[in-house]
Structure 1
Amino acid sequence: MQPYELTLGAAADAVRTRRLSPVELVDSVLERIGRTEPRLQAYVTVTAERARRAARTAEDDIAAGRHRGPLHGVPMGLKDLIDVAGIATSASSRVRADHRAEESSTVAARLEAAGAVLVGKTHTHEFAYGLTTPQTRNAWHTGRVAGGSSGGSAVAVAAGTATFALGTDTGGSIRVPAALNGVVGLKPTYGLVPRHGVTSLSWSLDHVGPITRTVEDAALVLAALAGHDPRDPASLPAPAKRYRPPAGTDLTGLRVGVPRNYYFDHVDPEVETAVRDAIDRFEALGARLVEVEIPMTRYIQATQWGLMVPEATAYHERTLRTVPELYRADVRVLLEAGELMPAGDYLRAQRSRTLMRREWAAVLREVDLIAAPTVPATAVEAGQETITWADGTTEAVSDAYVRLSSPANITGVPSLSLPVGHDTTGLPIGMQLLGRPFGEPVLLRAGHAYEQTRPARGLAHAARTSATS
């Protein structure tokens, strides 16, 4: 096994025990980037020399007994909405062509303090306003979408061009690309991870979280990110919790909610089968399955768009009026649409969210978590605009991908996406676990237990092909 193939947990252990140096690990990942990037296009910027300097510093510190923890010397990618001092934050947009961050975001500073090594900034759908990241190719099949808006981060982790990465999630933008590329994505509780220094899409829906190869890896990154920052008005004091999941697979006493409505409506049969099989695995591990009714489903889409669209337009008000031609057409149309939305619609969306949070809290008092598909279909072909379901109805790709993930953004509850198999074409399928606010330890425990019953996952097939082409 090459160093770039290691999970974060395995790499951290090898670095800590000095069986692997950070320099060897970073060089392996950079070499991997050089071989795969022409085909996958996961990165906006590769910070190779900066990474090599940081790796040498980490190696010297560890040799001198100054080991900072499991992220020390480990290569990471950051979505290009996340400021790092001295490096451009382009948001994958021509609007930001001349931007360069003066100071690091809270999350970048915390990861740097933990010793993580930045290898580059990863592509996003322009300003995170989309679900496909069209400039980046799926790590399993380069003719398919990467998912978005954190497509570059998910592809980098799936392809071995980052040991872990950060994404942002406003309606599913961590979990959707994680599911489509066969990796783990965690959207934490709203307010748990500070967003200071992160370009906003919709401030009342935005989250920052990790994309990793395993659930345990996600826990290791979350531990470095969580904690209050007064510069983010939504930031909350993090409860003192142990995020790293316990060893073992016993889930006795855990109550797993299985939706009887919404989450399995208009879902590809192969996705449904894989997710229900994974839910049955929970039962085999000792969990109790409980049918639950998802509340207020008819209002989910209207509430998500009613909040996101006007907030995004407000953020972009100045540049939308001065340089509209620099935006991609799909993003510009959405921003212009926000100018036409009445204030009353935004207020009704806020009221709907308040009611929805209350109803979800009632459901989550009856169960410890809810298990459901992350997305209703695997990665569609690049350029495909709609999905046709078995009953003949059609749905826009972006609407389909956001449909099952957006409730966690509206309510602010944590949601973990993890791989649960592949369809007959070999494309990954994801399951999401949704829990109570600050219930990340429960989600991580359940996801980790499930993972232990599955064969170890290798890197994505498309990336392997590109490495030898």
Structure 2
Amino acid sequence: MNRFWQYALQWGIGQRFKRRQIKTPARLVDYSLVEMAALLRTGELTSQQITLAYLERIDQLNGPLETYNDNGGYNAFVRIDREQALAQSQDADAWINNPDDPRGIAPMLCGIPVGVKDSIGIVGLESKNGAPEFSTNFALRNATAVARLRAAGAVVLGHTICSRFSGSTVGDFGCNAWDVDKVPGGSSSGSAIAPIARLCVATLGEETGGSMIIPAAANGASAIKPSLGYVSTGGVMPLRIGWDVVGPMARSVQDAAHLLAAIQGPDPIGDPQTLYTPLPFPQMPTTPRPGETPLAGLTIGVPQTDWMSASDAPPGHTYDPDYGLAFERFKQQLRQLGARVLDFEGVNMADEANCLYYAGPVLWTIEHLDIRVTPAMATTYCQQYEANYWQAVEDFAAGRPDEDRETLLRYYGTAFTHPVIEQMPCSVRIEAEQRRRAQMALWQDALDEAGVDFMVVMPLGAHVGYRIGLGEPSGLQNQRRFYDLPNALGWPMVTFPIGHGTTGITRPLPVNAAFWGPRFSDACLVQAALDYQHHYPEYHQQAPDDPQLRTPALLAQPYWPITRENSTDPLVREGSLRP
């Protein structure tokens, strides 16, 4: 048996994937992850060749690195470790071509160039979380997810840019992959831009509230926001522990699923939340099912109270024409693949009675400090205290210039949080945790009563607007009002493109849908998305035209103000969610 078929059998692709099925694209960078992996084993490509091709595109199209501002290019990557990337690619080639390597057969990701969000630690590099105030924050070791990618032989190119402090869903510094004048979404902006712009194969993003799903939808990426505990957040700069998750972003769900399969799994020391995952650990599917109706037996629900920001009408009534047409076509395509698709109410989170945890009531008050503790505050603050979160910020800030120190302490609210933790009764935390479980149960009951396996929604309901200073309308025009609800529940979400719109815009922009369902239904959602993209590949295989580098329009304030409506932080968001 030749090496190609050894790998085909190992990866479970067998007869569904034959060498002759790989079409030669116009550009090397347009191969999918699976195609690259196969061609690495046949000797038609080398990792060094692939890595150099992506580094060349970064040089041509990204613009200057270390720029938290407009840089004249995509600004998807904020820093690159070229020397290490090339060294890793040489090591990968040696592993692939050595059948006697003591590590065994080279894994699927061996030799594949990837990027990592600016909030995730890469040994020897600074992680700045979108903020120059974090300069000198060098990682002493790789984050768990990065370490697992490296153990699989992936080539880690460097950090992708994110919103300032990972704070905004709009996206501060990067440019939309399809139209550089438009917003890219945030906070994992660069992680969504880079694979679509063909600056790398895939990336890691991180989400607390919409930070992966929204930029993926804005750029037409395929992204998997896993269940809380499915992937370790060890080595990640937190926003809210207990809501934060790390996940893959790529052109296709299949590419993303291969990354997720490599980084998933328990991490008792780095992230004890991973110990709550059912055992044996759920395996991630990476191939579509055979047949013309692979979704037969599934019931997919469209929640009618999943309100959009544009109005209080049922969501389908608020979509722009391009989005409405794409969504209706998408539902029909799901039915053709065998699924039953139905409308159901869901849980109306605009009704105060349903807000048990998410945007829930005040559980405890410190009167003389005018502090009111909500369920989300009680759960996240306790976990962050146990992880030494605020002390770490204070210790780092102590070594920074006065202006940086003041910004860090103000943003992270260390003076505010200490009295909350020191005085909060244990009973408040217990009630908050119980409310979170009750909130999950309320949603699970709604799905069970309607006979729904999982839901489908539109992360965005209109094409994105312009970046700061480049025109009107600006920002995000219509998005899910409760975009961070899956994070509150700890439930997974998978988004992917279902079309491209042109109405009223100068350049085509992608239209994404998203599956989301109960905690640890990740494999079910991913499998359904794999099946869909296998039958309708035209949407995720499209590529934008390369832009021309331009003179940077350096802005005095290059980041979007963090408001309650666009914040990725659940505690900032709470005020806008109260009925």
With the shorter chain as reference, the TM-score category is 0.7 to 0.9
Cα distance 1:320–1:274, how it changes in 2: closer, same or farther (>3 A)?
Answer: farther
Q: Normalising by structure 2, report the TM-score.
A: 0.72
2:445 pairs, out of 358, 362, 365, with 362
Deviates more, 1:187-196 or 1:287-296: 287-296
Q: How do residues 267-282 of structure 1 correspond to structure 2 at under 5 angstroms?
A: 267-269=318-320, 270-282=322-334
Deviation at 1:11, TM superposition (A): 1.2
CA distance in 1 between partners of 2:537 and 2:467 (Å): 30
Aligned residue for 2:490?
A: 412
Q: Is the 8 A contact 2:89 2:155 kept in 1?
A: yes
Opposite residue 79 of structure 1, the aligned amino acid is K
Aligned residue for 1:13?
A: 38
CA distance in 2 between partners of 1:308 and 1:36 (Å): 42
CA distance in 1 between partners of 2:514 and 2:114 (Å): 23
CA distance in 2 between partners of 1:137 and 1:306 (Å): 36
CA distance in 2 between partners of 1:419 and 1:328 (Å): 42
Output one character per residue of 1:163-190: Cα deviation in whole Å (capped at 9) or x when no partner. 0000001111111111100110110011
Deviates more, 1:266-275 or 1:203-212: 266-275
Q: How do residues 311-460 of structure 1 correspond to structure 2 at under 5 angstroms?
A: 311=381, 315=389, 318=394, 325-326=403-404, 335=412, 339=416, 352-365=435-448, 366-383=451-468, 401=479, 403-424=481-502, 425=505, 426-451=508-533, 452-455=535-538, 457-458=540-541, 460=543
Q: Is the 8 A contact 2:34 2:255 kept in 1?
A: yes
Q: Is the 8 A contact 1:216 1:245 kept in 2?
A: yes
Deviates more, 1:98-107 or 1:87-96: 87-96
CA distance in 2 between partners of 1:30 and 1:173 (Å): 26
Structure 1, gaps ≥5 residues long? 389-395
Q: Is the 8 A contact 2:358 2:376 kept in 1?
A: no
Aligned residue for 1:44?
A: 78
CA distance in 2 between partners of 1:125 and 1:43 (Å): 12
Deviation at 1:22, TM superposition (A): 0.7
Deviation at 1:133, TM superposition (A): 2.7
Opposite residue 279 of structure 1, the aligned amino acid is K
Aligned residue for 2:58?
A: 33
CA distance in 2 between partners of 1:240 and 1:444 (Å): 12
Structure 2, gaps ≥5 residues long? 1-24, 64-72, 311-317, 362-373, 552-579
CA distance in 1 between partners of 2:157 and 2:548 (Å): 20
Deviation at 1:351, TM superposition (A): 5.8
Q: Is the 8 A contact 1:313 1:338 kept in 2?
A: no
Aligned residue for 2:20?
A: none
Aligned residue for 1:163?
A: 201
Cα distance 1:308–1:119, how it changes in 2: closer, same or farther (>3 A)?
Answer: farther
CA distance in 2 between partners of 1:384 and 1:333 (Å): 27
Which structure would you say has the larger Rg?
Answer: 2
Aligned residue pair count:
460
CA distance in 1 between partners of 2:472 and 2:225 (Å): 25
Opposite residue 379 of structure 1, the aligned amino acid is V
CA distance in 1 between partners of 2:485 and 2:347 (Å): 10
1:246 pairs, out of 283, 288, 298, with 288
Q: Is the 8 A contact 2:32 2:255 kept in 1?
A: yes
Output one character per residue of 1:362-405: Cα deviation in whole Å (capped at 9) or x when no partner. 233322210010223332211289999xxxxxxx9579646343
Which structure features the higher share of helix residues?
A: 1
Q: How do residues 67-82 of structure 1 correspond to structure 2 at under 5 angstroms?
A: 67-82=105-120
CA distance in 1 between partners of 2:173 and 2:520 (Å): 34
Q: Is the 8 A contact 1:201 1:308 kept in 2?
A: no
Q: Normalising by structure 1, report the TM-score.
A: 0.88
Output one character per residue of 1:243-297: Cα deviation in whole Å (capped at 9) or x when no partner. 2133335211111111122246734323233223212211111101232222141
Output one character per residue of 1:405-433: Cα deviation in whole Å (capped at 9) or x when no partner. 31110111110010111222311111110
Matched, 1:258 2:302: yes
Matched, 1:54 2:139: no
Matched, 1:189 2:227: yes
CA distance in 2 between partners of 1:401 and 1:351 (Å): 29
Deviation at 1:306, TM superposition (A): 6.8
CA RMSD in angstroms comes to: 3.4
Deviates more, 1:374-383 or 1:168-177: 374-383
Amino-acid identity (%): 27
Aligned residue for 1:393?
A: none
Output one character per residue of 1:185-225: Cα deviation in whole Å (capped at 9) or x when no partner. 11001101011111100001000000011111111111101
CA distance in 1 between partners of 2:440 and 2:138 (Å): 38
